[in-house]
Amino acid sequence: MSVLVFVEPGDELSLQALSVARSLGEVRAVSLDGPYAPAAWAAAIVEAAQDSDAIVAAGSDRGNELLAHVAARLDQPFAANVTAVEGDVVTRIRWGGSLLEQARLHGSPKILSVAPHTQPAAEAVPVERLELPADADTSVRVLETVAESSGGVSLRDAKVVVSGGRGVGSAEGFGIIEELAELLGGAVGCSRVVTSAGWRPHADQVGQTGTKISADLYVACGISGATQHIAGAKGAKKILAINDDAEAPIFASADYAVVGDLHEIVPAISAELRRVRGQ
């Protein structure tokens, strides 16, 4: 089986996709450069894949987008965020990973993206740079990239994230969350309830429709633990949940638990941190 795999240079998720591609057959790795133009890049991939039995990419923003364009051009099904392939049956994630689906992927070539962080990374292979076809439509392309004002530690890359949910009670209530995050050199996060209420900006949301974190420690304060939230938090190595409801679902996803009122517990942790540091 010949497998065309789209690779973004220096992208860890592409190497994870490569390991699935390799398990399927003989791999031809390709990439493109120049301003990102999804429809035109997809046209180049389709042209290169004329003799391919499968087309694979990472389940990243661009990987999923390009394969959707490829599938639309070829009028073939596309299985996004696959975790396993056996013959023509794929296992793929639903609900941001809270549920799995087994499905039969009909059609040819097989078009699939690989769910992030579900596979080991393969060793890099030589990558062939594709040219855009002469008639490629580049009208939709990145025209410029503007810098975002950086507000401290990024949520995605922070080693510690201290996060608040409905239990925090108000926008002002986040003062104690911010204080602890700052002491730990971490980032402030929150649940969807909090952004919907306007207490914090959406950029702070941890969840399926927010940021997916990869912290060493996630401290979830007053967060019930809806699957929408856990989908963004489970990338953390350890989860500490602080909640006054001992039955809260968050405790089924947490490694450590403190039961009680976050309004007392969080400042006590900050005070203890200062004490042991001799501040």
Under rule CB under 8 A, which residues in 156-215 are in contact with another protein? 159-160, 184, 186, 192, 195-196, 198, 202-203, 205, 208-210
Q: Find the shortest distance in angstroms from Cβ 174 to another protein.
A: 17
Residue 77 is a binding residue for another protein (CB under 8 A): yes
User: What is the DSSP code (8-state) at residue 190?
Assistant: E
Question: What are the residues whose beta carbons fall under 8 Å from the beta carbon of 110, sequence distance 6 or more?
Answer: 24, 53, 54, 55, 79, 88
Residue whose CB is less far from another protein, 28 or 52: 52
Residue 153 is a binding residue for another protein (CB under 8 A): no
Cis omega before residue 109 (within 30°)? Answer: yes
Q: Count CA atoms within 13 Å of residue 241 on its CB side.
A: 25
- What is the rounded distance in angstroms from the CA atom of residue 35 to the CA atom of residue 42? 13
Task: With contacts defined by CB under 8 A, name the span among 18-26, 44-52, 120-128, 241-249 that binds another protein.
Answer: 241-249
Residue whose CB is less far from another protein, 38 or 169: 38
Contact 232, 210 (CB under 8 A): yes
Binding to another protein in span 85-144, by CB under 8 A: 89, 91, 93-107, 113, 139-144
Question: What is the three-class DSSP state of 106?
Answer: coil
Q: Cα dihedral angle (157, 222, 260, 245), rounded to 10 degrees?
A: -130
- Phi first, then psi: what are they for 176, rounded to 5°? -70, -30
Binding to another protein in span 29-58, by CB under 8 A: 36, 38-39
Q: Find the shortest distance in angstroms from Cβ 150 to another protein.
A: 7
Binding mask 243-272 for another protein (x = CB under 8 A): -----xxxxxxxxxxxxxx--xx-xxx-xx
Q: Find the shortest distance in angstroms from Cβ 137 to another protein.
A: 9
Residue whose CB is less far from another protein, 52 or 113: 113
First to last CA, the chain: 64
Residue whose CB is less far from another protein, 28 or 262: 262
| Residue 233 parent element (H or E) | helix 227-233
Task: With contacts defined by CB under 8 A, name the span among 12-20, 48-56, 61-69, 169-177 that binds another protein.
Answer: 61-69
- What is the rounded distance in angstroms from the CA atom of residue 8 to the CA atom of residue 11? 5
Residue whose CB is less far from another protein, 51 or 144: 144
Return the closest-CA partner of residue 231 out of 105, 62, 81, 104: 81
Residue whose CB is less far from another protein, 5 or 66: 66
Residue selected from 10, 86, 126, 146 as contacting another protein according to rule CB under 8 A: 146
Residue whose CB is less far from another protein, 1 or 99: 99
